[in-house]
Amino acid sequence: MIRKACNADRSAIGKIYCETWKEAYKNLLPDDYLLKLNQDFCMPKSENLTNYLIAETDNAAVGIINYGVSRDNEIDKSGEIRAIYVLPQFWHKGFGTELFLAAKSALKKLNYTSVYLWVLAENASAIKFYEKMQMCPLNVKRNINIGGTDLVEIKFESDL
Ligand SMILES: CC(C)(COP(=O)(O)OP(=O)(O)OC[C@H]1O[C@@H](n2cnc3c(N)ncnc32)[C@H](O)[C@@H]1OP(=O)(O)O)[C@@H](O)C(=O)NCCC(=O)NCCS
Domains defined along the chain, listed by start = 2-159 (3.40.630.30)
Q: Which atom of ligand 1 is nearest to the CA of 98?
A: 12
Q: Is the CB of 96 under 6 A from ligand 1?
A: yes
Give me ligand 1 centre to Cα 108, in Å.
23
pLDDT of residue 70: 85
Neighbours of 66 (CB within 10 A): 22
Kindly provide the b/e burial profile for residues 40-61, where b requires at least 16 CB atoms within 10 angstroms of the residue's own CB: eebbbeeeebebbbbbbeeeeb
For ligand 1, the distance from its centroid to the CA atom of residue 86, given in whole angstroms, is 8
Asked whether the predicted pLDDT for residue 151 surpasses 80, the reply is: yes
Percent of the chain, pLDDT > 70? 99
Report how far residue 105's alpha carbon sits from residue 83's, in angstroms, rounded to the nearest whole number.
16
Cβ–ligand 1 contact at 133 (below 6 Å) = no
Residue 84 has pLDDT above 70, yes or no: yes
Which atom number of ligand 1 is nearest to the Cα of residue 93?
11
- The pLDDT-based confidence of 71 (bands split at 50, 70, 90) is confident
CB 51 within 8 A of CB 64: no
Give the span between the Cα atoms of 23 and 85, in whole angstroms.
11
Burial class (CB within 10 angstroms; exposed 0-12, middle 13-18, buried 19+) of 6: exposed
pLDDT exceeds 70 at position 51: yes
Question: What separation in Å is there between the alpha carbon of 68 and the centre of ligand 1?
Answer: 21
For ligand 1, whether the C-beta of 128 sits within 6 Å is: yes
152 Cα distance to chain centroid: 17
Select from 121, 154, 5 the least CA-distant residue to 68.
5
Q: Is residue 22 lining ligand 1, measured as CB closer than 6 Å? A: no
> Could you tell me the pLDDT band of residue 69, with boundaries at 50, 70 and 90?
confident
- In this predicted structure, the answer to whether residue 145 has a pLDDT above a threshold of 70 is yes
**pLDDT interval class at 74 (50, 70, 90):** low
Residues 134-158 as b or e (16 or more Cβ within 10 Å = b): ebeeeeeeeeeeeeeeebebbbbee
pTM check: above 0.75: yes
At residue 75, the pLDDT reads 67
Closest by CA position to 118, among listed 126, 109, 128: 126
Q: Which residue has the higher pLDDT, 147 or 88?
A: 88
What is each CA distance from 73 to 17, 92, 99, 145, in whole angstroms? 25, 33, 24, 20
